[in-house]
A and B are shown apart, each in its own frame.
Chain A
Amino acid sequence: MAWPKDVRRGSAWHRVGQLVLFGLVALFFIRAGLTWNRSGIGQLTDMLLFATAAVGLNLLVGVTGQISLGHSAFFGLGAYTSAVLVGQYGWTPGWTFPVSIVLCFAVGMVVGLPALRLKGVYLALVSIALATTFTQLLNWDRLAWLTGGPIGIKGLSYLPPSWTPFDGRADLGKWFFWMSLVVFVICTLIASSMIRSRFGRSMVAVRDNETAAAVMGVNLAAVKTLVFGLSAAMAGIAGSIFAMKLTLVEPVVQFFTLFGSIFLLVMVVLGGAGSTWGPLVGAFIFVYVRDWASGVGEGNGVLGLFEGTRIGGLGGIVFGVLLIVIVFVAPFGAVGLLRKARAKVVRVLPRPPALPTVANAQEPQPPTTVVSG
């Protein structure tokens, strides 16, 4: 029997393969949610929240090709919206989430306006300005009545509501975990169905050749601003839950600063820009590799060679080198690498062309396909 095997997209075998993959991932999260301790679940929750924000960023960067280094501002805006409403105005945390989503969507649309005129490095610069301005605003004395200034807002609390099976503070970690998982799944479903829709093809067209897309009738302004808005909304809801889990917001929280934007971009690239699984895999690698790397050189560090020397920032250096290696080995991210490995065993062939009468409803092409004249 010759390898690799050919499997046609949409065939029974293809569906079985997809189900097994989904099943394994679902099993991992369910098992973790039921058996892991509070610290493990806490870390996994952070990972899911970063992945949710990365799903949004992936729509923007990976699918639509608009570089943003300002996503920390949306993540932070979501966090501060919840924190201000809960901490300053006594709202129930759950009701602040829709407000965060709407506010971040609106601000995202507005911020998307420069993208109508700017491209590439210029757009990146504008988005950097957004990230840095956001932390300056948080620190601004005149806004301290709202944001708490440099001290931020502390002592936020979100106990599991009574309708949930979770009981008080002891189940807080689990409550945040399941909530984050549901939010992540919803955002991923929205993103993946968007990518497969007509709108998604417009997004890919904008990424691959803006002029050609416009010529073909894609409304550039609508696509760009809507994607910016949606992307910001996903970062916003992730930020909201992150703030409630952290119980505080302050301007120096890493994910509210430019670092956060860079981290989110790293996750998207690590996982595989443009792919549905990319953000999850990227966030997973980011959180766990960073955690592993931070232990290097410390007392019970991984590299016994460095034990006791405590080189400042060694963990950071190890992490940085790893990133470079991963990008070299897997230029299309971890998901790209896995696909390459899978292709040695199973080759997924596209569906045969659809009948001419249903041409408009044809299956989407993989995101890397060039859709241009």
Chain B
Amino acid sequence: MAHKRLMAVFVVAALAAAACGGDDETSTTDAATPTTAAAETTAPADTEPADTEPAADTTAPADTAADTTAPATDENAFVVDTEACEDPDAANAVIEGDIKIGTSIPLTGGPAALFAPFADGFQAYFDYINATEGGVNGQTLVPIVKDDQYTADITKTNVDSLVFDDEVALLSGIIGSPNNAAIQADMNALCVPQLWAATGAPSWGAVDVYPWTTGLLVPYAVESRVFLEYATGENPDVATAALFYVNNEFGQAYAEAFKAQVEEFGIELVAEETIDVTDSGAPSGQLTNIAAANPDIVLAVPLGAQCIAFMTELGNVKAANPDFAPAVYQTATCANQLFFGAAGAGGDGVLTSSNLVDVANPENASLPAVSTYLEAFTSVNADANPAGIAVAGWLAGEMTVATLKKAAEDCPEGITRACIINAARNIDFTPSLFREGLSAVMNAGDGFIAEGTQIISWDAANQVFVDQGDVIDVEGTTGVYTPAS
């Protein structure tokens, strides 16, 4: 065991050395220092022989790593520093047996409960990989799902239980900006990978401060920019905008980005309305105020079931105010047949975006990725709607597996938590359900995987999303995020 840990430490050292290859002597020493310290803490008795005799060993993993991992030679490769961890040994310990993957999502309670099918999509991908490939690295994948009702304090309790009782190797696909924010500091101190957080808040790109947390969705700032570009492209006379958002981190992340961007585009913000997280009623007052301001465009950021209430009420307000006909964009987290279908006529023509193939569109049914997904999903839950949020669950599962495969490849001695986060932060992968031309890429200088998307609009008559224009890809342009404090 100690030997394996030592090997793992060497590999990290080799990666670090390779990554800093072009630097001066000081930085090489810096990279090497933590490794020596880690070796001392792991097996003090072995330190001396390790320093002298197996000098050849030290280079061997380095060669292997250099051969198999492109990022190791890349200046932009990310290498995590496990010395900052509460328990560096745990971060570098090889994960034996089944690989347990924990997640916490809202299965019950409040508007966010409609996100529950995410769990089925998530489960379906691991079932599929276990059945077709026998897991990853010969290790079976075991997802463990807990319900947090979209409440951050329950997420925290769940994650404690996942990490310390279930002893999961990593967390993945946790839904919600406040929920992921609540555990981010803890997971980064413990050095437990908190992968593919199902939110688009900027904090998941904080590579330097919170390297152990990675995001899954298109950053909200990218999304609102894509909408503004689309809207002004369609109608160069756009002069006024209104903003409707849920009053929490998720909504506010959007609001901040949008407010900064409208200024840039020379558009005046004429109305700003909010809704509480737990409010599942129709936002009549808010939409009446927006209609009174009669903006050219509206950005709406409701949460879960609020997407339906927003569109239904939008239909009512439009019917009462024939002059009120703005271009309305709803957050991609609402881009779900279930939500739009339930909104009736109110959803017609409402814009949203998606970086994924529309699995509900019959035209896509023949795509192999879609049929694989639908088959796997049905075997997990034949009653649930496979479109919408369930696809995001599948994507989170697929990204997790891609990460683990890369980790297994980069660390032939066995997968460790450090290998997993290095693999995630250096991922270059094309998920099967991504739209053509898009791919998931991250490295030390790029903290976000998904930076391209397709504007779509809802056709209520045919109950289908229709593409508007082309995929807009700004991959690699958002860089990394630096928190304010």
List residues of chain A with CB under 8 Å of any chain B CB. Answer: 37-40, 42-43, 46, 139, 149-151, 154-155, 157, 168-170, 246-248, 250, 252-255, 294, 298-299, 308, 310, 312-313, 315-316
Taking CB as reference atom, which chain B residue is nearest A312?
A: B108
With an 8 A cutoff between CB atoms, is B182 at the interface?
Answer: yes
Given A151-B249, A252-B277, A252-B278, CB of A169 within 8 Å of CB of B185: no
B164/A38 in contact, CB under 8 A: yes
Cα distance, A149 to B485, chains bound together (Å): 18
Taken residue by residue from 169 to 181, chain B's Cβ proximity to chain A (1 for < 8 Å, 0 otherwise) reads as: 0000000001001
A312/B277 in contact, CB under 8 A: no
With an 8 A cutoff between CB atoms, is B477 at the interface?
Answer: no
For residues 123 through 178 of chain B, which have their beta carbon under 8 Å from a beta carbon of chain A? 144-145, 147, 151-154, 156-157, 160-161, 163-165, 178
Cα distance, A95 to B62, chains bound together (Å): 51
Taking CB as reference atom, which chain A residue is nearest B142?
A: A299
Cα distance, A250 to B152, chains bound together (Å): 9
With an 8 A cutoff between CB atoms, is B186 at the interface?
Answer: yes
In the assembled complex, how far is the CB of residue A316 from the closest CB belonging to chain B, in whole angstroms?
Answer: 7
With an 8 A cutoff between CB atoms, is B276 at the interface?
Answer: yes
Q: CB-CB < 8 A to B182: which residues of A?
A: 154, 246-248
Given A37-B164, A155-B185, CB of A310 within 8 Å of CB of B116: yes
B116/A254 in contact, CB under 8 A: no
Q: Which of A46, A170, A247, A313 is within 8 Å of B186, CB to CB?
A: A247
Q: List 10 A-B contacts (CB under 8 A).
A: A38-B160, A38-B163, A139-B247, A157-B185, A169-B189, A248-B152, A250-B178, A252-B277, A254-B153, A308-B381
A170/B147 in contact, CB under 8 A: no
Q: CB-CB < 8 A to B165: which residues of A?
A: 37, 39-40
In the assembled complex, how far is the CB of residue B121 from the closest CB belonging to chain A, in whole angstroms?
Answer: 13
Q: Which of B107, B152, B186, B247 is within 8 Å of A253, CB to CB?
A: B152
Q: Which of A169, A250, A254, A316 is within 8 Å of B108, CB to CB?
A: A316
In the assembled complex, how far is the CB of residue B482 from the closest CB belonging to chain A, in whole angstroms?
Answer: 15
Given A155-B185, A312-B113, A312-B116, CB of A150 within 8 Å of CB of B152: no
Q: CB-CB < 8 A to A252: which residues of B?
A: 151-152, 178, 248, 277-278
In the assembled complex, how far is the CB of residue B273 from the closest CB belonging to chain A, in whole angstroms?
Answer: 12
Interface centre among B153, B185, B249 (most CB of A within 10 A): B153
Q: Which of B144, B154, B181, B485 is within 8 Å of A254, CB to CB?
A: B154
Taking CB as reference atom, which chain A residue is nearest B117?
A: A310
List residues of chain B with CB under 8 Å of any chain A CB. Answer: 86-87, 107-109, 113, 116, 119, 144-145, 147, 151-154, 156-157, 160-161, 163-165, 178, 181-182, 185-186, 189, 247-249, 252, 276-278, 381, 485
Q: CB-CB < 8 A to B153: which residues of A?
A: 246, 248, 253-255
B147/A294 in contact, CB under 8 A: yes
A-B pairs with the 7 shortest C-beta distances? A39-B164, A150-B247, A39-B160, A313-B108, A38-B164, A39-B161, A37-B164
Q: Which of B108, B144, B247 is within 8 Å of A315, CB to CB?
A: B108
Q: CB-CB < 8 A to A247: which residues of B?
A: 156, 182, 185-186
Taking CB as reference atom, which chain A residue is nearest B253?
A: A151
B277/A246 in contact, CB under 8 A: no
In the assembled complex, how far is the CB of residue B91 from the closest CB belonging to chain A, in whole angstroms?
Answer: 13
Q: CB-CB < 8 A to B248: which residues of A?
A: 150-151, 250, 252
Q: CB-CB < 8 A to B181: which residues of A?
A: 154, 248
In the assembled complex, how far is the CB of residue A30 from the closest CB belonging to chain B, in whole angstroms?
Answer: 20
Cα distance, A254 to B109, chains bound together (Å): 12
Cα distance, A33 to B160, chains bound together (Å): 16
Cα distance, A246 to B156, chains bound together (Å): 8
Cα distance, A315 to B178, chains bound together (Å): 23
Cα distance, A247 to B157, chains bound together (Å): 12
In the assembled complex, how far is the CB of residue A167 from the closest CB belonging to chain B, in whole angstroms?
Answer: 11
Taking CB as reference atom, which chain A residue is nearest B483?
A: A155
Q: CB-CB < 8 A to A308: which residues of B?
A: 381
Given contacts A253-B151, A308-B381, 4 further A-B contacts (CB under 8 A): A155-B185, A169-B189, A252-B248, A253-B152
A150/B87 in contact, CB under 8 A: no
B277/A43 in contact, CB under 8 A: no
Q: CB-CB < 8 A to A168: which residues of B?
A: 86
Q: CB-CB < 8 A to B276: which residues of A?
A: 139, 150
A149/B157 in contact, CB under 8 A: no
Q: CB-CB < 8 A to A250: which residues of B?
A: 152, 178, 248
Interface centre among A155, A298, A310 (most CB of B within 10 A): A310
A310/B86 in contact, CB under 8 A: no
Q: CB-CB < 8 A to A169: which residues of B?
A: 86, 189
Q: Which of A39, A40, A157, A312 is within 8 Å of B107, CB to CB?
A: A312
Cα distance, A7 to B145, chains bound together (Å): 52
In the assembled complex, how far is the CB of residue A319 from the closest CB belonging to chain B, in whole angstroms?
Answer: 12
Q: CB-CB < 8 A to A246: which residues of B?
A: 153, 156, 182
A151/B278 in contact, CB under 8 A: no
Cα distance, A202 to B401, chains bound together (Å): 66
A254/B151 in contact, CB under 8 A: yes
Cα distance, A150 to B181, chains bound together (Å): 14
A310/B107 in contact, CB under 8 A: yes
B157/A46 in contact, CB under 8 A: yes
Taking CB as reference atom, which chain A residue is nearest B277?
A: A252
